[in-house]
Amino acid sequence: MRITFRLILSLILGVTFVALGFSYFQIQQEERRLREELELRAAVLAESLQESVEPLVARGPSKDLQRIVERFGNRKRLSGVAIYDTALRPLAVTPGLSDQLPRAPAAALEAIRTDQGFGEFQDIKGNSTHIYALPLHSDAAPTGVLVLLHNASHISVQAAGSWRLDFILLLIQTLFITTVTVLIVRWSIAGPIAKTAEWMKKLRTGDSSAHVHLPQADLFKPLAQEVLHLTESLSAARAVAQEEARLRDAAESLWTAERLKEHVKSKLQGRTLFVVSNREPYMHVRKGKEIQVVVPASGLVTALEPILRACGGTWLAHGGGDADRESSDEQGKLRVPPEDPHYSLKRVWLTKEEEQGYYYGFSNEGLWPLCHIAHTRPVFRAEDWACYQAANFKFAESVLAELEGTEEPCVLIQDYHFALLPRLIKEKRPDARVAIFWHIPWPNPEAFGICPWQKELLHGLLGADLIGFHIQFHCNNFLETVDRVLESRIDWERFAVNQSGHSTWVKPFPISVAFSAPASERSVESRPESPKALLLKNLGVKAAYLGVGVDRIDYTKGILERFRGIERFLEKYPAYQQQVTFVELGAPSRTLIKHYHDLLGQVEAEADRINWRFRTKDWKPIAFLEGHHTHEEIQPYYRAADFCLVTSLHDGMNLVAKEFAAANESQQGVLILSCFAGASRELLSALIINPYDIEQMAEAIRFALEMSPEERAARMNRMRRTVREANVYCWAANLVSELSQIPLEVAEPVKP
């Protein structure tokens, strides 16, 4: 009520001051116009009278002169006429004017002196009067002066009337504006705020079923967004608290964001965590005239982002968005996430040539196919190697600049893009604990020996204190490669490498995902549920069963083999035609590389070929949805799918398999998983297949669809328990714990 009263009072005062200001200006203009009209009228009248009186003035006072004066003196608003000689003696004066004007006015003297007409306004006996004097001549010699007096009181009278009218209009205007504003405030502001406050109160008191349509107008859009974020945070915090209470009651131990945060604090003891990766967690890109924030589709971002949210610190990455520079400060830094900042993002700038050679060239045409044994020949070019070295040096400079002033920092480097970086950092900052996690497989020594710069890569990696892989098999391959290529001592009992007095530990850390709370524990507003029928309807398909695959379009993912497995399944079991639709959510990746660009066309062509063979009017076997899909868009497919196909030809872990298990709350989905994915070592209840065996894949699809609900639930329950207990927070905790416990072999930093 007080706010409304203050608003009304402010409106009244504001409208009054503005209206009075405009009225004052308008009336001033009107008075000026009336004065100018009166002056012009006096001048015209004097000039017309001048011709009649000039011949008579030279004779002195006369009846003719007096008669002319009296005749002209009866005009409207003309108070009188007077004629004076050059000595200002009256020659003829309108009767009664002598009482008002006992002597010649100053205007007459001024007109004689300047020999031109002169007018002024004077107050004569309480009346505003305009006096105009015009010199008279005879043969070019001055003979006298003609004076006209006009009553100007009508100007002030008219101004007063205008003030009264404006005052009445002001009252009406103020009343109207105030009434309309109060109604707008009540309907558009006070009402939505009251509803939102009531909704937040219910959520605060634990009523998770509370629902409200938040205002979407531009005025409230930022507030609505913040309220939603607050609600999500509150719901997440409540879910975490409930889960923690349940775990304490059941004497279980589960890693959560809060537990990780406290664990990292105790392990790092105030030391700052620095994460380095090629891909940034948030990109700023131009969409028309606007700049939008995009979360790149990446398993690495999926895994690491919750850790930085929980622990804080700094994430250093390549700034690849076309609006990244203008969205960062002078040092390329900003706080993220944009809606709820928890950590700093430092962007490193690379030239187009460096990006082409370091990322597309050496990393993805060389190391990627080298480490993924998927029958794609790696390409190694000297110019790409030079760019790879330059990019690693540039990142090293940026990391070292961030480490200044930080004692015993912890640096967590990500993936095959930065094999040289551990050594570059360790040489300058031997007090830093450096770890690198290799997210892709490590091949056997014979395969890795293809790389012309294998010694340099291994030497750079062994600058780290800790090297992590997904599974023990990759650790063994790495140690065997080091043993064969470099002069070093391998400690097979502790899985460590000692080279030049520096020890590097090599251990497996199976990466995972953040296991979210069940739908019943999440807010209604934040639960994106979509039943199977609705998803199929949106695709324009009628089917009884839904399969799903989520991938980057990469030759290591076995997408073509997957499609052929679906085709073979429909061939062998025609009863499932028009019953099963498989949805492939494919994100284009590295399309600047010809092999990837061609692969995208092959995937589209294969989907079209199979659809052409089997499709009917309202059904098709494969729906290929090309594009970058958000987690919110993918989750409904995970929840509704009867089966999920993960057919990697070679993969480090594959988080899609774990994401599917975590999201499948109904426990009625079946995971069909490649034996060449690291996840197959953990998710043992999945249907493990060889993706090259198309017959086996077809049989696995049939078996998944015909599996009893009880077996489906039992298998999915076991996988969900595995993902829930060994989640991404557990992965991060183990990695940070190992890194923090490694003793530092401090030496003098290498001087440039």
Ranked by mean pLDDT, the top range of 141-145, 160-164, 612-616 is 612-616
Comparing CA positions, the residue from 555, 544, 498, 510 lying closest to residue 652 is 510
Whether 194 is covered by a domain: the verdict is no
Amino acid at 547: G
What pLDDT is stored for residue 262 in this prediction? 81
With bands split at pLDDT 50, 70 and 90, how would you rate the model's confidence at 624? very high
SS3 label, residue 696: helix
Average pLDDT over residues 536-547: 94
Whether 169 is covered by a domain: the verdict is no
Do 626 and 584 belong together in one domain?
yes
Q: How far apart are CA 384 and CA 447, in angstroms?
A: 20
Least confident of 286-300, 370-384, 416-430, 690-704: 286-300
Residues 6+ apart with CB under 8 A from 590: 360, 364, 554, 596
* pLDDT for 179 beyond 70: yes
Average pLDDT over residues 448-467: 96
Do 312 and 380 belong together in one domain?
yes
DSSP assignment of 699-734: HHHHHHHHS-HHHHHHHHHHHHHHHHHT-HHHHHHH
Whether 566 is covered by a domain: the verdict is yes
Residues 6+ apart with CB under 8 A from 440: 367, 368, 371, 372, 415, 416, 652
Do 575 and 536 belong together in one domain?
yes
Residues 6+ apart with CB under 8 A from 79: 94, 97, 100, 129, 149, 150, 151
Give me the domain span that covers residue 523. Answer: 519-726
Whether 733 is covered by a domain: the verdict is no
With bands split at pLDDT 50, 70 and 90, how would you rate the model's confidence at 527? very low
* pLDDT for 673 beyond 90: yes
Do 528 and 665 belong together in one domain?
yes
β-bridge partners, 498: 489, 503
Do 504 and 604 belong together in one domain?
no
Q: What is the pLDDT of residues 220-231, one digit of tens each?
A: 566 666 666 666
Whether 426 is covered by a domain: the verdict is yes
- Exposure string of 697-736, with b = 16+ CB inside 10 Å and e = fewer, is bbbbbeebbebeeeebeebbeebbebbbebbbbbbbbbbb
Do 245 and 266 belong together in one domain?
no
Average pLDDT over residues 708-719: 96
* pLDDT for 567 beyond 80: yes
What pLDDT is stored for residue 160 in this prediction? 82
Do 566 and 713 belong together in one domain?
yes
CATH of the domain at 397: 3.40.50.2000
What pLDDT is stored for residue 274 in this prediction? 94
Do 280 and 395 belong together in one domain?
yes
Q: Which residue has the higher pLDDT, 542 or 300?
A: 542
Whether 304 is covered by a domain: the verdict is yes
Average pLDDT over residues 14-20: 78
How far is the first Cα of the chain from the last one, in angstroms, to the nearest whole number? Answer: 70
Question: Residue written as tokens 């729906």?
Answer: 623
Do 464 and 556 belong together in one domain?
no
Least confident of 75-89, 545-559, 695-709: 75-89
The two structure tokens encoding residue 472: 């023990």
Whether 680 is covered by a domain: the verdict is yes
Do 680 and 543 belong together in one domain?
yes
0.85 surpassed by pTM: no
Do 618 and 656 meet the contact criterion of CB atoms below 8 Å apart?
no
Q: What is the pLDDT of residues 229-267, one digit of tens each?
A: 666 666 666 665 555 555 554 445 788 877 887 888 788
Number of domains in the chain: 4
Average pLDDT score over the chain: 85
Boundary-marking domain end, from 451, 476, 508: 508
Do 466 and 352 belong together in one domain?
yes
Whether 459 is covered by a domain: the verdict is yes
Do 150 and 231 belong together in one domain?
no
Do 582 and 606 meet the contact criterion of CB atoms below 8 Å apart?
no
Residue 493: in which H helix or E strand, if any? none
Boundary-marking domain end, from 460, 482, 508: 508
Q: How far apart are CA 146 and CA 144, in angstroms?
A: 7
* pLDDT for 215 beyond 60: no
Half-sphere exposure of 303 (CA within 13 A, CB side): 29
